[in-house]
Amino acid sequence: MINLIPFVLFVTVPIIEIALFITIGGQIGIWATLGLVVLTAMIGTVLLRQQGLSVLARARAEMDAGRMPLGRLADGLFLLVAAVLLLTPGFMTDALGFLLFVPAIRQTIGRRLLEWIVGSGRVTVATSGHAQHAHEAGVIDGEAIEIDVDDSASTGR
């Protein structure tokens, strides 16, 4: 059943998009329809830049705090999918792409996707505990002096 899903999407999405182009184009005209397609791609690019940089900054902050930024990585992946959907000509793909720019929707989809993946039994998630910074792990700063083996042999030491 799962192998059939990509095929169904590959066939039905273009059919739906063509029907929407014909319907909307008949209502507002060809130039307005094409203008909307270009406008949504431009808006998607701006949103990706803004939200992508924000997600990247939060991921860095989490890594600096010693935490793995899995949520931020999922956000970044969903933003990439949103950008691809917005750059793909079509009204349905644009609507789905804009929905993925809403953080609450991304988080809900991500949570449900993770539950489905873990529930399917195909993936096991394991952690090894929290990372520690060097000063928390008992590392002591110090200085070192390099001794050249050839010098010690010539002085008789």
- Asked if residue 129 has pLDDT above 90, the reply is no
Give 62-85 pLDDT, tens digit per residue. Answer: 888 888 888 888 888 899 899 889
In a domain, 23, yes or no: yes
| Residue 35 structural domain | 10-122
- Distance separating alpha carbons of residues 86 and 107, to the nearest angstrom: 19
Residue-wise burial string across 44-56, b where 16 or more C-beta atoms lie within 10 A, e elsewhere: beebbeebbeebe
In the prediction, which pLDDT does 154 show? 54
- Asked if residue 128 has pLDDT above 70, the reply is no
In the prediction, which pLDDT does 118 show? 77
Could you identify the residue written with the tokens 């063509």? 18
- Please, what is the average pLDDT of the chain? 81
Q: What is the pTM of this model?
A: 0.66
How many domains would you assign to the chain? 1
Look up residue 67 and give its amino acid.
Answer: R
In a domain, 17, yes or no: yes
Nearest to 81 by CA among 96, 70, 71, 63: 96
Could you identify the residue written with the tokens 């992508």? 52
In a domain, 132, yes or no: no
In the prediction, which pLDDT does 54 show? 87
In a domain, 95, yes or no: yes
CB 110 within 8 A of CB 71: yes
* Rounded CA Rg of the chain: 26
In a domain, 138, yes or no: no
- How does DSSP assign 94-157, residue by residue? HHHHHHHTSHHHHHHHHHHHHHHHHHTTS-----------TTTTT----------HHHHHHHT-
In a domain, 16, yes or no: yes
